[in-house]
Amino acid sequence: MARLSYLKALQRALSDEMGRDEAVCVLGEDIGVGVNNVTTGLLAKYGAQRVVDTPLSEQAFTSFATGAALAGLRPVIEFQIPSLLFLVFEQIANQAHKFSLMTGGQARVPVTYFVPGSGSRSGWAGQHSDHPYGLFAHVGVKTVVPATPEDAYGLFLTAIRDDDPVVLFAPAGALGVRADVDMDALGPVPLGVGRVHREGTDVTVVAVGHLVQAALAVAEQLADQISVEVFDPRTLHPFDWDGLAASVAKTGRLVVIDDSNRMCGIAGEILATAAEQMRLTVPPKRVTRPDGAVLPFARDLDLAVQPQQDQLLTAVQEVYKSSR
Amino acid sequence: MSEDAGLYRTMRLIRRFEERSIELVHAGEIVGGIHPYIGQEAIAAGVCAALREDDIITSTHRGHGHVLAKGADPVRMLAELTGRATGLNQGRGGSMHAADFSKGIYGANGIVGAGGAIATGAAWAAVKEGSDRVAVSFFGDGAVSQGVLLETFNLAALWRLPVLFVCENNGYATTLTVAQSVAGSITGRAEAFGIPAVSVDGADATAVLDAARDAVARGRAGGGPSFIEATAYRFDAHHTWEHKARVRYRSDEEVAAGRSRDPLDVHGSRLDADVRAGIDAEVEALITEAVAYALDSPHPDPAGALDHLYATGLRGRDGIGLLDTAVR
């Protein structure tokens, strides 16, 4: 076993895929020196033809990658800031994603977009702290939010190998996570397959990304009163509805914690699907950012609009009590 | 067929394809309408005559001319416009997204200026694979005000990529004149990035071909991108909805003057009359066949409405229960 950090897992996945497949190349801003510590060392290892520092032209280089993918390459793009995805929404949602259907299956666009440090990084304020994974799931772009180092490795690998566009969010809150892993056992993790991090029988908690750690902490805190099952969907689209249904069939109670805005967020979709198709014994709850939240700068204000562990704890207790 | 005859044939094919398509719009056989290319045929014909089959193009909402000139089958193209299963895109793309990847046609595109970066990325891939293929991005005068296209000029010049930017200046971005929308000049946009730019008469197929040959040769030789502004007059509507909407932004006198210099006559006059008549007859038979084939072709099965949504075959959940696509 070796100690693997989440960031190192991303770096290793990208480097391994570049080594395995010559078609894989990476584009982005300041990636030569690796300011986000994911592309570190890749320029020296694979050269400037495959590790391309781009001008600050997100819209152009995003569709540039689409063209390269249509012509046979497998580009990976690093975005330094999650909000840059708003800038390139046209290029991803309206161009890259639509080529396959619009051309009647003639074209494929295997591009991976990744954000090392999505959501709040504390103190980065309104325009650097969004978590827009729900937007991409909504329009149908494959959307991945790994919570652990081994999943970061495995899902990044799968995203790069996938023949469709995939957006991978690496939450800032997860970048520091470390785990003891068997390096030889690292491998691709399929899209659309969730993971139960902790089994339980009373309440299912669905946690997205870095909030898996919060959910595990709450489960531990409540261990002598409530048996909490922690379900990590790992990919939001496709979503492992069967995995969720199996968990809810056991517990009959559901709480979702999701670090994005409440209105039309992924938590709402999860609750709606559970209400339509699963047997819930009590009304479910969700812990999210408020409607239309913009993260304010000051630390206490920033924290006030992000879902917190104690809010999750209360929600789990309430859902559990309301059925007794 | 001589080069001159070939150019004329391409233009005649586009012209008759467009005229028949307009009839099919009015007959209700092409739903959603089209953006007719009539009046601009010499540009697609001239540029594509300088290309090889393995070169790449990206096109626009007014894309039929480029797609046909690059070698797409007009029969399957018309089947696409009429939304048939036999269409180039199996009826999934229609007029604004017609594509044929086997001919390097990366598709018409519904967003103005969006094809530039796609073509440039494809040109990069062509260089990386060690080929001398080039990519061409067609766009209109409206696109030169799109930021992403200007960003793309920078990337193409910076990395000396074999891409040819062809701006078809037909004077109008829908109803907005170039004078109302372009500060400076159109070629000046490219020159600002050090991209060699020329302005040519887009009603003269030979002039367009000559300029395109220079640009393509430069690209194949590693000399980087080029820019051609080809001026022309759009004979018909921006879109066929104008035929009913009757929006007025061009005077009758202006339209008559614009149509008086027909690119088919400009180039057709260089051919012997019997050669021209022979091409006209051959094209007429082909278009007649295309219309018959399209209208006889089956409509796609609604059960497959979301086929090809993902290259991997992923199926999402049902929306309204019409499709049998449940994941479970």
Q: What is the DSSP letter of B300?
A: P
d(CA A317, CA A303) in angstroms, rounded, equals 22
Contact status of A112 with chain B (Cβ, < 8 Å): no
- Distance in Å, alpha carbon of A309 to nearest chain B alpha carbon: 32
Coil/strand/helix, residue B314: coil
Count Cβ atoms below 10 Å from residue B123 Cβ, excluding itself. 31
- Distance in Å, alpha carbon of B90 to nearest chain A alpha carbon: 5
Low-confidence ranges of chain A (pLDDT < 70): 323-324
Q: What is the pLDDT of residue B321?
A: 59
Residue-wise pLDDT for B93-113, tens only, equals 999 999 999 999 999 999 999
C-alpha distances in Å from residue A155, one per residue of A158, A274, A285, B107, B256:
5, 25, 28, 31, 61
Contact status of A48 with chain B (Cβ, < 8 Å): no
Q: Name every chain A residue with its beta carbon within 8 A of the beta carbon of B135.
A: 67
Nearest to A55 among B111, B154, B311 (CB): B154
Edge-to-edge strands, sheet with B56-58: B56-58, B135-140, B163-169, B226-231, B197-201
Residue of B nearest to A138 (CA): B316
Contact A94 B314 (CB under 8 A): no
- Distance in Å, alpha carbon of A250 to nearest chain B alpha carbon: 19
Written as six digits, the tokens of B300 are: 């796609």
Q: What is the pLDDT of residue B326?
A: 43
CATH superfamily for domain B3-297 = Thiamin diphosphate (ThDP)-binding fold, Pyr/PP domains (3.40.50.970)
Give the residue from B54, B163, B312 with the most A CB atoms within 10 Å of its CB, the best one to mutate: B312
Contact B88 A55 (CB under 8 A): no
Low-confidence ranges of chain B (pLDDT < 70): 320-328
SS3 per-residue string spanning B206-229: HHHHHHHHHHHHHHHCCCCCEEEE
d(CA B104, CA B133) in angstroms, rounded, equals 10
- Distance in Å, alpha carbon of A239 to nearest chain B alpha carbon: 9
Q: What is the pLDDT of residue B43?
A: 98
Contact B92 A101 (CB under 8 A): yes
Q: Name every chain B residue with its beta carbon within 8 A of the beta carbon of A109.
A: 311
Q: What is the pLDDT of residue A323?
A: 67
Q: Name every chain A residue with its beta carbon within 8 A of the beta carbon of B158.
A: 55
Q: Name every chain A residue with its beta carbon within 8 A of the beta carbon of B124.
A: 64, 67-68
ipTM of the modeled complex: 0.95
Domains and CATH numbers, chain A: 2-185 (3.40.50.970), 195-318 (3.40.50.920)
Q: Name every chain A residue with its beta carbon within 8 A of the beta carbon of B314.
A: 142, 164, 191-192, 238
Contact B309 A102 (CB under 8 A): no
- Give residues 259 to 298 of A whose Cβ lies within 8 Å of B: none
Contact status of A57 with chain B (Cβ, < 8 Å): yes
Q: Identity (one letter) of the amino acid at A250?
A: K
Q: What is the pLDDT of residue B320?
A: 67
Q: Name every chain A residue with its beta carbon within 8 A of the beta carbon of B312.
A: 162-164
- Distance in Å, alpha carbon of A70 to nearest chain B alpha carbon: 7
Q: Name every chain B residue with its beta carbon within 8 A of the beta carbon of A65.
A: 121
Q: What is the pLDDT of residue A1?
A: 87
C-alpha distances in Å from residue B92, one per residue of A67, B89, B222, B326:
20, 5, 37, 21
Q: What is the pLDDT of residue B246?
A: 81
Evaluate whether A6 touches A175 at the Cβ level (below 8 Å): yes
Residue-wise pLDDT for A149-196, tens only, equals 999 999 999 999 999 999 999 999 999 999 999 999 999 999 999 999
Contact B152 A109 (CB under 8 A): no
Residue of B nearest to A73 (CA): B125
Give the residue from A73, A84, A102, A239 with the most B CB atoms within 10 Å of its CB, the best one to mutate: A102
Q: What is the DSSP letter of B147?
A: H
d(CA A156, CA B266) in angstroms, rounded, equals 57
Q: What is the pLDDT of residue A122?
A: 87
Contact A107 B107 (CB under 8 A): yes
- Give residues 119 to 178 of A whose Cβ lies within 8 Å of B: 140, 142, 162-164
Q: Name every chain B residue with its beta carbon within 8 A of the beta carbon of A100.
A: 308-311
Nearest to A66 among B93, B118, B147 (CB): B118
Domain ranges of chain B: 3-297, 301-328
Nearest to A63 among B88, B118, B309 (CB): B118
Q: Where are the beta strands (DSSP E) in chain A?
A: 2-5, 24-28, 51-53, 74-78, 112-118, 142-144, 166-171, 178-181, 195-198, 203-207, 228-232, 235-237, 254-261, 285-289
